[in-house]
Amino acid sequence: MATKKSDESKVIGNPRTERPKARITPEQKDLFLKAAALTGRSLSDFVIGCVYDTAARIVREHEAMTLITHDRKVFVASLLKAPAPGARLPKAAQRYKKQSGK
């Protein structure tokens, strides 16, 4: 099976210069090696790709939640500070009631 490059190398576009360290159990290493082999990737590419994908998802979710919170606050503030209706609105409501028989 052909080796699949991770999105991480496409996004950065630079040669890899950092070497993070992590200690894992033999069972974790066996599982990671098996998964890497099943996807046709080296252990390093598999781990980097999975970590990159997970990190990108977490950042996207956090940013989306932050935006949702901000939007909710702006929406509620606009409702609480809504301007008074103009003179045309009550007249339009009266016309509607006449025409609809309410």
Q: Identify the CA nearest to 3 among candidates 49, 30, 51, 42.
A: 42
Residue 2 placed within a domain: no
Q: What distance in Å separates the CA atoms of residue 58 and residue 54, rounded to the nearest whole number?
A: 6
Domain that holds residue 68: 23-100
Residue 77 placed within a domain: yes
Number of domains, the chain: 1
Whether 38 contacts 75, CB under 8 Å = no
pTM above 0.85, yes or no: no
How does pLDDT run across 22-51, given as a tens digit for each residue?
A: 999 999 999 999 999 999 999 999 999 999
Residue 52 placed within a domain: yes
How does pLDDT run across 55-83, given as a tens digit for each residue?
A: 999 999 998 888 788 888 998 999 899 88
